[in-house]
């Protein structure tokens, strides 16, 4: 199975093809959207995109971990992580693509 990474530039180019905006306009729209998502997550707001999914910031407590190679215990500090939960529609699309 080969994997393909879609870049920001490729997303902007798709906007140019689908909507007919200029490359500059589509890049600006995409950058603005990504900035808004990032700022919302920084403020620990949930981001819901219909037909796509939800981005949520979760708080993880400090805990003891273990280095898998050496078995030595290590402290894992508390942190915030971004999680993504796909919508049922996106799940169906991914499943049907096989």
48 φ/ψ angles, rounded to the nearest 5 degrees: -110, 125
How many angstroms separate the CA atoms of 21 and 3, rounded?
Answer: 29
How many angstroms separate the CA atoms of 96 and 57, rounded?
Answer: 29
Domains of the chain as residue ranges with CATH: 1-43 (no CATH), 45-98 (4.10.520.10)
Instruction: Provide the b/e sequence for 10-20 (b: ≥16 CB within 10 Å).
Output: eebeebeeeee
> Among residues 83, 84, 87, which one has the least CA distance to residue 60?
83
pLDDT digits (tens, 9 = 90+) for 50-70: 999 999 999 999 999 999 999
* pTM confidence score: 0.77
pLDDT confidence tier of residue 3, bands split at 50, 70 and 90: low
């Amino acid at each position: 199975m080969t994997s393909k990474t879609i870049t920001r530039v490729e997303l902007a180019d798709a906007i140019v093809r689908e909507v007919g905006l200029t490359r500059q306009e589509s890049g600006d729209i995409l950058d603005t959207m990504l900035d808004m998502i990032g700022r919302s997550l920084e403020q620990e707001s949930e981001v819901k995109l219909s037909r796509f999914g939800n981005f949520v910031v979760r708080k993880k407590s400090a805990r003891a971990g273990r280095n898998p190679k050496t078995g030595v215990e290590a402290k894992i500090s508390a942190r915030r992580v971004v999680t993504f939960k796909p919508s049922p529609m996106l799940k169906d699309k991914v499943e049907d693509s096989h």
